[in-house]
Structure 1
Amino acid sequence: RALVQRASVRGQILDALRTALVTGELTPGAVYSAPALGERFGVSATPVREAMQQLALEGAVEVVPNRGFRVVERGARELAELAEVRALIEVPVMLRLARTVSVERWAELRPLAEATVRAASSGCRATYAESDRSFHRAVLAFCGNEQLVQLADDLHRRAQWPLVGPVRVSGRGQADLLADAAEHMALLDALIARDLDVVRSLVGEHFAGAR
C-alpha cells in the first residue's frame, strides 16, 4: 500500500511539474532543487526528485549535481525541428487513416475536437495543451500502433514547452490557441468528408504552425 501511495504522489507531482513547464512557471535555464519544490507542493523531496528524474528522461530538465535540476532552454530551431519530425510521423498516418477509417468512427472524435475549442477559449495554456494532445492521440490511435502513438505524444509534449525568454502564454495568446483549435475542427470535418486534398493541406498547415 505504501508503494502505491508513493507512486500516486509521484504521479501527481509529475503532472503538476508538467503543467508548470507548459505555463512557464518553471523558467527555462533556472535551477530548482527537489527540497524547495517539495516545500512548494507540500510533500517530501523524494517524490519530487523521482518526478524530475522522469522529466530528465523526457528531455525537459537536466541534472545539475549537488544543486538540483535545470529547465532546458529551447530555441525556435528546436521547435521547428520537433514540428518537422512530428509531421514526418503524423501526416502520412493521417492521410492513410483518411482513406480507411469510417465516417462513424471519425464522428466519435467530435467531442474531443470541441474540447480543444473550449480549452482555447479559457486562455489556459496548460488546459489547452492536454486537450490538444488528447485529440491527436485519438486520431493516431486508429492506426492501431501503440508505439507510434506514444512516440508522437512524447514529441508533442516536448513541442509544448516554452521557448527561452519571457512567457506570455509562451508567446501564444488566446487568438493563437483558438486558431489552432479551429484547425482541429476543420481537420475532423475533412476526415469525415473524406476530402484528402483538404486533409493534406490542413495537416501541413497545422504542423507548419505547430507549437
Structure 2
Amino acid sequence: MPARAGAAPAVAMSLPEMGGRRASYRERIGEALRAAVITGELAPGKVYSVPALAEQFGVSATPVREAMLDLVKEELVEPVPNKGFRVKVVSESQLDEYTKLRELIEIPTTVALATTADPADIEALRPLAQAIVDAAAEEDLIAYVEADMRFHLEMLALSGNATLVETVRNLRQRSRLYGLTALMELGELEESAGEHMEILHGLLTRDPEYVQQVMELHLSHVRGSWAQPS
C-alpha cells in the first residue's frame, strides 16, 4: 500500500559529516536524503512531505525543502503540488545502462591508479574505507552509501579528471541499491565493504591485475545483488 504523503521514512535520519568540514544543514540533509533514495529507504513512487522529513532530522522545514529541490535538479525526486516530493522510479533497463557505464569508466580509471597515483594519496583513503566497513558492521545503510560514494569519488579524483569524477557522481546518484537490506540480512554487506580495503591493497602494491579483479567483483554487486527491487 502506498505511503501517505506525510509518512516518515522507514529509518531514523541523522545528519552526516561532510568530509571533516563544516557544512550547511541543506548540504548535510541533502546527503542523507540522497543516500536514502539510493538505498530505497525513501521508497520509489512514494510521496514524502517536507514537515515529516524535517521532524525526522529535528530541523526546520526550510533546509529540508531546499535539499529536496536540489534532488529535483538531480532527477531523483519530483515535486507533488501541496503534498511534497515523490521519489522517481528507475527502470531495470536504466539501472543496467548506468551500471555498464560505471564499469566502462571506473574500472580502467582505478586500474590505472595502480601505476600513477602517489602512495600517500592512496593511503589517505583508508579512513573512508574503514568508515564503509564500520557502517556495514553497524548495519547503517545510509552511512554505508555516503562513505562508499566519498571513497570512490575521491579515489577517482586522483586521476586528475574532474569531468570523469562528476560523470561517475551523476551515475551513482541515479543508481538504486534496493537490495542492500537483503545483503545485510545475508551477512554479505560486510564482505562487500571489505573489498574497499582490497582495492587499496592492490593500489599500494602496484598490482593492476589484482585491482581489476577486485573492481570487477565489486561492481558486479551493483546489478547482481544491490539493485534488485525488494
TM-score after normalising by structure 2: 0.74
Compare CA radii of gyration and give the structure with the larger one: 1
2:202 counterpart of 1:190: yes
1:47-75, Cα deviation, whole Å (9 max, x unpaired)? 33322221111121112344432111234
Is the Cα–Cα contact under 8 Å of residues 31 and 146 in structure 2 kept in the other structure? Answer: no
Is the Cα–Cα contact under 8 Å of residues 103 and 193 in structure 1 kept in the other structure? Answer: no
- Cα distance between partner residues in 2 of 1:79 and 1:155: 9
- Opposite residue 44 of structure 2, the aligned amino acid is P
Give aligned-pair identity as a percent.
44
**Aligned pairs for 1:35-74 within 5 A:** 35-38=51-54, 41=57, 45-74=61-90
**Residue 94 of structure 1: CA displacement?**
1.2
What residue is the counterpart of 1:177 in the other structure? 189
**Residue 90 of structure 1: CA displacement?**
1.2
Alignment gaps of 5+ in structure 2: 1-22
| Matched pairs, number | 200
- Opposite residue 184 of structure 2, the aligned amino acid is G
Is the Cα–Cα contact under 8 Å of residues 122 and 203 in structure 2 kept in the other structure? Answer: yes
**Residue 193 of structure 1: CA displacement?**
1.4
Pick the aligned partner of 1:205 from 210, 213, 217: 217
**Secondary structure at the counterpart of residue 70 of structure 1:** strand
- Opposite residue 108 of structure 1, the aligned amino acid is A
Q: Which runs of 4+ in 1 moved over 6 A?
A: none
Change (3 A) 1:179 1:81: farther
- Cα distance between partner residues in 2 of 1:104 and 1:205: 25
Is the Cα–Cα contact under 8 Å of residues 128 and 177 in structure 1 kept in the other structure? Answer: no
What residue is the counterpart of 1:3 in the other structure? none
**Residue 12 of structure 1: CA displacement?**
4.2
Cα-Cα RMSD: 2.6
Alignment gaps of 5+ in structure 1: 1-6
2:120 counterpart of 1:108: no
**Secondary structure at the counterpart of residue 69 of structure 1:** strand
* Structure richer in helix, relative to its length: 1
- Cα distance between partner residues in 2 of 1:45 and 1:142: 37
Is the Cα–Cα contact under 8 Å of residues 86 and 152 in structure 1 kept in the other structure? Answer: yes
